[in-house]
Amino acid sequence: GEWADFGYHTIRVGPATSSVRCLCIVASNIWAAYKNCIVVVDGESLQIVKVFAAHPRRDSQVRAVQWVGAGVWISIRLDSTLRMYHAHTFEHLQDVDIEPYVTKMLGTSRLDFSYMRTTALHISNRRLWIGTGTGVVISVPLSGTLEQKVETNDGKKSSNGPGGLVRVYSSNKDSKDDASSSGGGGGAFIPYCNLTQAQLSFHGHKDSVKFFLAVPGAPREVEDEQEAELRKMLVISGGDGYIDFRLGEENEPPITTKGVRARDMSHIIIWEVDAELPVISS
């Protein structure tokens, strides 16, 4: 098809001084990120049904929105904390701060905390992929239950624990009741995030992670029926440069001629993971 300059529908979500940062389909609605707010638009009537603040500071900007089940994960520009909201009741369910976890895994010598922010977010096959401004990639399995609904950095524990800061704003029972009453496909699944189960990739980018892309692979031809239930999923990240965080750049030879080293050029990094059929992307 071709773009037409007539017959379009316009929805004004706010003053033109700020732009809509991203859109995400959530069940039958469209979530639009405008400044620090989420504007929920009905997908059929194209009417605004809900507006709520995803961050208390008005100068903040919602950067990415990802939906799965009855939960929507949101990242904020220049912020290391991820927030989850209920897809139907819009209730604030959980906060997760990734900064303590990354510091615990990589230490402070190789990290610039001014860039410890979430720059890319993606959900694929019930895993949350997080890209940071320092080029670090984290993969966290999403679970319908959360065993520890407490803050992991209280006064009795170190703030640098492996789980980082985790806040849950409603009980698991209440969340299930809300999800059941809301209806919709897969509404009973609340995608809680527990950083104690997170996996940090030592392969990353020298600069911020720009994007994620999930590509289902072809199913394997095997005789065993149980093995046939698995297929490959390729998750791709894009960004500037490549770095192995286990080695750093200390062992790299200096540049003697004019030009750009291969590791400083734009890279995509590909991870291969097993995924049960059918592959769930949202």
Phi/psi at 8 (5° precision): -85, 165
80 pLDDT exceeds 80?
yes
> CA nearest 193: which of 144, 122, 235?
144
Q: Are 166 and 194 in contact (CB under 8 A)?
A: yes
| Model pLDDT, residue 262 | 67
| Model pLDDT, residue 266 | 85
The whole-model pTM stands at 0.78
Residue scoring higher pLDDT (114 or 197): 197
Q: What is the mean pLDDT of residues 241-246?
A: 88
| Model pLDDT, residue 219 | 62
What ranges do the domains of the chain cover?
Answer: 20-144+190-222+229-275
pLDDT band at 147 (very low <50, low <70, confident <90, very high): low
| Model pLDDT, residue 113 | 59
76 pLDDT exceeds 90?
yes
Top CATH class of 20-144+190-222+229-275 equals mainly beta
Q: Are 31 and 39 in contact (CB under 8 A)?
A: yes
- The number of CA neighbours under 13 Å toward the Cβ of 248 is 8
pLDDT band at 245 (very low <50, low <70, confident <90, very high): confident
| Model pLDDT, residue 258 | 60
Distances (CA, A) of 72 to 17, 36, 187: 26, 15, 11
| Model pLDDT, residue 49 | 96
